[in-house]
A and B are shown apart, each in its own frame.
Chain A
Amino acid sequence: MKTYFIQKLEGLLLLGLGMMIFKLYVSGHLTNLIAPKMVPYALAALFAFFVISLLRLKKRKQGGNHCECHSHGKSSSPALALKYSLFFIPILLGFILTDFTLSGEVLAKRGMAQQQSQKQSPNDAAGKHVNQAKITVTDDNYFEVLDDLLNNLDTIEGKEIELSGFIYREDGFTSKQVAISRLSMSCCVVDATLYGYMVNGHVKGMKTNDWYTITGTLKKGTYKGETVPVLDLKAAKKIKAPKEVYLYENVQIIQ
């Protein structure tokens, strides 16, 4: 009887896991938890879970009684139930949660990533963003622009830049300093990394974690002893948080 029950229970849990992935995928929350490049794996798992759960839940024509002889194992029913009930944690979390953002306090504990200027090959299109009259940062060119700016720190003085992000503050910031930040993910929310530009100006009214589109002029500044591009605030417009909160780091293996 126990064997039979466990077989059904495993089928049920696999079904639940599949449903959980399905729900997150359909509601679009999946990419708040794992990067798009991991989504195909999750969908493959979803498919496999459904197939195996159906096979497990299906009534077996024969064999049920033969299994009885081995079912009087060491672990008792309550212990077994406890072991399986662990799987309800992720299933229910996936069903219940609606907000998948990390809280500001957590981000403050991680600190802002300090981008290093990257070595680029000479025939690369380096500097193409810096030479524009006004630099507009989008999700797609975020890291390109950041690399460009870091590579050309001496020539960016006075250039105008427009970008969106959320307001981030650290303990050491003065009342005239914030960072306009984005979160980036390479595999899943576990490796979420904070990137941002320091902004100087009248920022007192801007609330931490609110989203803004900021226009400013660039200059050379420092963050934790590193030379980085810094913005002087010209204009700020409050915006709604975008649907895609994260930037996704694309690793090009062959470059």
Chain B
Amino acid sequence: MLLKRYTGNLLILILLFLLLAFFFLGDVFIPKAIDLSGYPLLHSVLVVFLGLFLESIPFLFLGAIASSFIQLFISEEIIQRMIPKSAFMAIFAAIVAALIIPVCECAIIPVVRRLIQKGVPVHAGVVLLVTAPILNVIVFGSTYYAFQNNPAILYGRIILCILTAIIVGLFIYIFSRKDVVKEEKPEAVRGHVHDFPPSKWTSFIEHTSQEFFMVGRYFIIGALFASIFQVLMDRTLLAEIGQAPIKGTALMMGIAFVLSLCSSADAFVAASFSHSFLPGSILGFLVFGPMLDLKNVLIMLSCFKRSFVFTYVLLVFAVVFSLCLIAGGLISKGGL
């Protein structure tokens, strides 16, 4: 046992030494040894990946902190008292909560999982998942700014988001299943079953760190795929399909899914598409993207059961798709 711990410590020390070596010298020696300038696409994939990682990591960490906080400091009784009894009221409460909570998609998923574990009904949790990334002031601001001459997009985004939440929430409520949360592996729960329980503060640190690494590794895989699509996808070719409402909407939703943009930035990218696509398709991009994208689905897989994630993806896609087609029709007729 002692020997094992000794090797463990030795390994950590070696890793620490390597880390320090790369920290000080990595940019001196490695670029000479491996010249990436001959592979511009690979280089760009790596740069985009690092950008995506750095942008999201503070919020992933925030999500881990919030989730651990709920786990350790908020009891099930408090949550039971806060949740309205009727299903409708729970959905509306969740929408209001989403408006107030200033977090977007990376942070909300572990929090929702924890809330469901603590007794929040699944449909209310799902509503939170759908609305939290879109219903916040920063997203409103950037959408308004990017589509100043087309306010229908801003209103449409908000209205469609709320409608999607209500429909998806009700659907989940009717066909509700209780066990949607993925079982935690033993290594993730060890913190609080001790004979001599450590202080709450210690377990808080432990939980946060474990949660972060569990969600983080899925996020890294998602971000890698997203950056490959980011770099390889030829956006100029897409314009040709843009004017067909059905194909265009499906395509824009697909693009939003693979690009995995942050919901406070996607409006600018959407604006660059706005000449080649119809308003309904742009709405598809702006409503679907924040709810579901590559990195998101992978984070969800780290928190929820596979069957639930699958149902959720199909459901959200179908609802957003039909709503966008309706909204597109209304906008082109001059409504909204």
Closest A residue, CB atoms, query B59: A41
User: Once the chains are docked, how many angstroms separate the CA of A86 from the CA of B217?
Assistant: 6
Q: How many residues of A contact B (CB 8 A)?
A: 92
Question: What sequence of 0s and 1s flags, for each residue 37-74 of chain A, a beta carbon within 8 Å of any chain B beta carbon?
Answer: 01001101100110010011000001100110011111
Contact digits for B84-106, partner A, Cβ 8 Å, 1 yes 0 no: 00000000000000000000000
**Can you list 16 A-B pairs, Cβ within 8 angstroms, ordered by A?**
A19-B19, A48-B61, A63-B202, A83-B217, A87-B216, A89-B224, A93-B50, A95-B22, A95-B27, A109-B234, A118-B149, A189-B47, A189-B50, A189-B51, A190-B262, A253-B144
Question: Which one of B5, B19, B205 has the highest number of Cβ atoms from chain A below 10 Å of its Cβ?
Answer: B19
- With a 10 A CB-CB cut-off, give which of B1, B4, B23, B58 has the most chain A CB atoms: B58
Do residues A73 and B50 form an inter-chain contact, with CB atoms below 8 A? no
Q: Mark B260-287, 1 if CB is under 8 A from A, else 0.
A: 1110111011011011000000000000
| Other A-B pairs, 10, CB within 8 Å; known A11-B209, A86-B220, A92-B22 | A5-B12, A49-B61, A71-B187, A109-B232, A116-B149, A119-B149, A184-B268, A187-B261, A190-B227, A253-B144
Partner-A contacts on B (CB < 8 A): 1, 4-5, 8-9, 11-12, 15-16, 19, 22-23, 26-27, 30-31, 36-37, 40-41, 43-44, 46-55, 57-59, 61, 65, 137-138, 140-142, 144-145, 148-149, 185-187, 189-190, 193-196, 198, 202, 205-206, 208-210, 213, 216-217, 220-221, 224, 226-227, 230-236, 259-262, 264-266, 268-269, 271-272, 274-275
Cα of A170 to Cα of B81 in the assembled complex, Å? 61
* C-alpha spacing A12/B41, complex, angstroms: 31
Do B52 and A52 touch across chains, with their CB atoms under 8 A apart? no
Interface residues of A (CB under 8 A from B): 1-17, 19, 21, 23-24, 30, 33-34, 38, 41-42, 44-45, 48-49, 52, 55-56, 62-63, 66-67, 70-75, 80, 83-84, 86-87, 89-106, 108-111, 113-114, 116-119, 170, 184, 186-191, 193, 224, 226, 249, 251-253
Chain B contacts for A3, CB-based, 8 A: 187, 190
Interchain CB contact (< 8 A) of A63 among B43, B198, B220: B198
- Output the least CB separation between B192 and chain A (Å): 10
The answer on a CB contact under 8 Å between B11 and A10 is no
Cβ of A116 and Cβ of B274 under 8 Å apart?
yes
Pairwise interchain contact A70-B51, C-beta atoms closer than 8 A: no
Q: Per DSSP, are chain B's interface residues mostly helix, strand or loop, or mixed?
A: helix
Q: Are B12 and A193 in contact (CB under 8 A)?
A: no
Whether B220 contacts A89 by the Cβ 8 Å rule is yes
Q: What separation, in Å, do the CA atoms of A169 and B175 have in the docked complex?
A: 54
Given contacts A56-B209, A84-B213, A105-B40, are A191 and B265 in contact (CB under 8 A)? yes
